[in-house]
Amino acid sequence: MATQKDSGKRALWLEDAWQLYNDIENGHAHVQPTANTYAIMLLAWLRFNPDSASPTQTSAAEGHDPTSLLRCIISRQVSPALVVADRAFTTNEEATQAIKALSRAAVQMGLSSVVNELGLADSLGRQVDDPLENVPEAIPVPDVEVKRKEDGSVSELTTESPPPVPEGDIPFNLDTLRRHLGQVILARRVLSEDLVLRQRLLEQSVYNVAVERMKRQAELFDQLGLPNKSLHSTDLRTWMWHWHQKLQARIEAEIQNLEVEERVIARLKRRPKDGMQLTPFLRLLKPEKLSLITILELMHLHGSGGVQDGMKTARALLSVGRAVESEYKAEMCKKNNISVPTSVPARPGEQNIFTSLGYRDLHARRVAARKYMEDAEEWTTEWTQLVRVKVGSFLVDCLMDVATVQRSIKDDRTGEIISEEQPAFFHSYEYQRGHRLGVIKLNPAVADRMSKDPIAETLHPRHLPMLVKPKPWLSYNNGGYLYNRTWAMRFKESREQELYLRHASDAGRLELVFAGLDVLGSTPWKINKDVFDVVLQVWNSGERFCKIPPAVPDEPEPERPPNMEFDNKARAIYLERQKAWQQAKASNHSDRCSINYKVEIARAFLGDTIYLPHNVDFRGRAYPIPPHLNHIGDDLSRGLLLFGETKPLGERGLRWLKIHLANLYGYDKASFDERVEFVHEHLEDIYDSAERPLEGRRWWTKADDPWQCLATCIELRNALESPEPEAYECALPVHQDGTCNGLQHYAALGGDAVGAAQVNLAAADRPSDVYTYVAKMVEKSIEEDLARGHEFAQLLSGKVSRKVVKQTVMTTVYGVTFVGARDQIERQLKDRGDIPPEQCWLAASYLAKKVLESIGDLFKGAKEIQTWLNTCARLIAKSIPQDRLVQSLTEKHVSRGRRSTQPRWKKEQMTSVIWTTPLGLPIVQPYRATKRKQVMTALQTVFISDPNVPSTVNSQKQASAFPPNFIHSLDATHMMLTALECRARGITFASVHDSYWTHPSSIDQMNAIIRDTFIALHSSDVLGALAQEFRERYADYKVPLAAMRGLGMKKLTNELSKLNVSPDDIKLLQDSEAQAEDEGAKDEEGLVDLAEDDDIDLEEDAEVVEKPKKRKRVAPDDVEGRLATTFVNLVDILPPLPQKGIFDVKAIKESQYFFS
């Protein structure tokens, strides 16, 4: 009536309709609303709401919108799908509008199940192209029984049911991921245009998904008519559901008891235990959510920390407490309905960031946006470690009381089945490295199921790519994901790092860093459908193919030697090979699960544009926050990704696309023209690879990076087959990589002409390859030993490739030790597969010595700078602020039991090495001696490390890690400068540390920017600025003369003599120094892989020297006793800067292979 017949009285008709609806909802009309009722009222709102084409205001309609209607629909238990399918909707357009309106309301209310239901309803009624149409599902990692022949090869595979594997056999972690991604896929259909709401759904808590999954599993068994719980008691998910039901009731009861106890304590005016009340923290989340968090966190920690079938108690309690804190803060953010700023600074044509005016404008805009955001949020302060442990202890103790499993065993004598209820978790103690360690162990039945359904790596939905541009970074802890709190830096429990970062952020000195992270996060990506189809086909085949491990390990088990019991050497060889085989088997399964994640995520985001929010580690290096599928990942991850925007190739872009293909294939040490010619010679192979990747000759599989090579083959073939190849719209990223980038920075810092030539800073007709150069030197030395019949020379002759020595050469200037070099080379020799595993260690020892000898004076300039950095860091770590030194020497000592003989100033050595990057980012090295605090819990006494408690620094780590950390901070600065300049010029940019990516047509522009920013960085006297910062920051710091006993102090003899230190004291230090060198040479530690994301602990380089003559031993107590009250100013003994060489950094402009 309001629409057609009596539209003149529209307001009257609508008033009556809404009034009648209100009476029905309030119970005055004595009738129950139906799906038709809600459909009519939803239609009325769609047609006549204030934002519609015919807005009509009525008093009875106030307060009604899709959210209020959906709330009533849910409370009346009416299916939303029936509402949108009602006959009241006469057109497809109105039905679609109704679905979208209810879906938006469902996302706002956090009802992901309603979004699922509406997505299914929409998919049944529309004929729109779906990106996932005809895309098969990925077969998950199944439980497979393997039968092998006598020679160890696989003869037969048996699964419980034929592929595809039924849902019940999907590993727990993958099941969780699939259910969550299933919601994302359904939401695509109903929220295709509203990406912000889809992103909100994507960030919904994992716990909501988990409870639905466990409940569904338990209901399934009940539907199958299995009342006897023992018949399905071995199912992990069913156990977890029953634990959850009992635990949430137990938590509610225990919280009520605790509240009564705390009220009594407060009434009696007594101080509660540990001085804190626990119930305010436990009431932040509902018991249902607390129960799920506790169960999932403990299951995830299974097998962690070197504890078999269990976990360390302290780690478990902290993890549960931290998970409760994170979930509460996530819920708070969602409730606030934050309006997210969408503007990203430094668009093309805007004010240049690098001018002072542009910087002030950038800071002002960011401060205003941050103030607006903070006004909309109600964040609590960070929880202390004590609170986390107490909350975790309360919840874990409740779980251990209620969680049980039923185990059955058959009596061999009577044949009777005996069943028993047993605890699912129990507390125990183990000894590790001589220390008594409290652990929480899993019942053997639970541990057995965990080995078949691994959940240790369950993917949290907050770690998925984003569907909208990330929230701009407004402060150090506000940016990235829209509704989940993330930090601009990965602190690793270092309070000191967080304080320095917060201070710099509040002072407005991090604007360029935040802007750089915004640039990296705003780069759009999409899934490469052509490559994904090939990956999925290979994955589902279960075969080993191009770095994808097989579904079943295909390497034969080592054969047991018949003389093993009598021949110790044969026994040792067999055990070594058996261990390697077991490790390879476990690694195969782990790799398979990791790739399974990538495939599932890629499938879910087919057809979408995605974004990867970034943050930095403590050195300033940028990383994507989503860990599983990103461009910093492996070859497969990179091959699956394209830029979300296309650009025409152009003539130069087509050339760079060909060069890129040659680089990926491994033909990257030739000139550019030769690389282009290489592609022309293999055009037939390229076409075959693109058109028949699996059925053809498979030329692409022989590439160094096969999946990226396949993506490039497909893109190049499409471009060449298009009517105008130079006009082809290309989305493939093309890389420009630095040549041993750490050495490039060292050569530029020191003006080292020889080193610059080796790493392509100087112009040349062909690219230099320092790794091949060293490998040839090593081979030449091995040939000399071969002539003398050396055992390992015979074993290694002709096997020292560029790859074997690459990592050791790259890390030599970072301070790699002999032990570290040996470990690196041993890994490479094992990967070759043509050297017996039991001989790899001794062969690596021989080869490491050769590599270190061959490098010699090749990087002399870099070595001098490294020594200067190391010495400065060692002195800083030994220093003490003057005010603290005076206080420690004058304050009265309060004796607590046994008197310590240690000088008091030793407890004041808390000075970290701190410096500021050219972009203003403060870098604080976190290496400290850990202090532990004892906390009493219901399970045991837990010792936790509190980052807020001051502790002395680890001076050895501070010194050895400073050179690589400083160089990494420089390459991070160079990358950020390049990113900002690329954004200012409208160039798409992404990076993997020292590998810079853009469209093929933009390579020449980006190359010019890379060189300009590198020259600008190193034209600013970086080392001089660092030395000046040290002198200002540590101006009033003192170094105890006794603390200067250690490596590297010989060079300070002249400085000490100038400071009126007596010759006898200097002689005493020199003798103790020589003794420390002898001891230090025996206790070298290795170097971790520089490619790892973890912090790098590098030790001093130790040369192999002749055994010195015995000296009179100098006791440390003698040194400390004699020099206990002698101190020198730190700034007076800082070593002078190394003399700079003749290389001019501006010559890089002429080097075409600097980045290539």
Shortest CA distance to 978 belongs to which of 1009, 1004, 1017? 1009
Residue 354 CB partners (closer than 8 Å, separation 6+):
980
- Kind of pairing, strands 525-527 and 641-643? antiparallel
Give CA–CA dist 152/556, Å, rounded.
4
Written as six digits, the tokens of 1136 are 């002078």
Shortest CA distance to 442 belongs to which of 298, 572, 339, 579? 298
Out of 130, 397, 704, 737, pick the active-site residue: 737
Shortest CA distance to 239 belongs to which of 230, 227, 248? 230
Give CA–CA dist 781/773, Å, rounded.
13
Q: Strand pairing partners for 430?
A: 437
Instruction: Judge whether 688 counts as a catalytic residue.
Output: no
- Total count of residues recorded for the chain: 1156
Written as six digits, the tokens of 1112 are 């009179």
Q: Strand pairing partners for 516?
A: none
Please calculate the CA angle 991-637-516 and round it to the nearest 5 degrees: 20
Residue 91 CB partners (closer than 8 Å, separation 6+):
none
CA dihedral in degrees (765, 770, 771, 777; nearest 10)?
A: 110
Residue 981 CB partners (closer than 8 Å, separation 6+):
1009, 1012, 1013
Shortest CA distance to 997 belongs to which of 689, 630, 636, 699? 630
Q: What is the 3-state secondary structure (H, E, C) of 724-737?
A: CHHHCEECCCEEEE
Q: DSSP secondary structure string, 220-289?
A: HHHHTT---GGGSTT-HHHHHHHHHHHHHHHHHHHHHHHHHHHHHHHHTTPPPGGG--SHHHHTTS-HHH
- 54-58 long-range contacts (CB < 8 A, ≥24 apart) are 54/10, 56/2, 56/10, 56/11, 56/14, 57/11, 58/11, 58/14, 58/15, 58/18
Give CA–CA dist 271/1133, Å, rounded.
52
Give CA–CA dist 999/990, Å, rounded.
10
In 3-state terms the chain splits into helix, strand, coil percentages (rounded to 5) of: 55, 10, 35
Written as six digits, the tokens of 208 are 């909501």
Shortest CA distance to 1102 belongs to which of 1124, 1126, 1077, 1119? 1077
Out of 312, 994, 1038, 1101, pick the active-site residue: 994
Give CA–CA dist 385/391, Å, rounded.
10
Instruction: Judge whether 737 counts as a catalytic residue.
Output: yes
Residue 138 CB partners (closer than 8 Å, separation 6+):
536, 539, 540, 596, 599, 600, 603
Residue 791 CB partners (closer than 8 Å, separation 6+):
none
Written as six digits, the tokens of 641 are 């990704």
155, 667, 699 from 703: Cα distances, Å: 31, 9, 8
Give CA–CA dist 498/477, Å, rounded.
10
* CB distance 310 to 429 below 8 Å: no
Out of 806, 850, 863, 957, pick the active-site residue: 806
Give CA–CA dist 83/80, Å, rounded.
5
Instruction: Judge whether 229 counts as a catalytic residue.
Output: no
Catalytic residues: 737, 806, 994
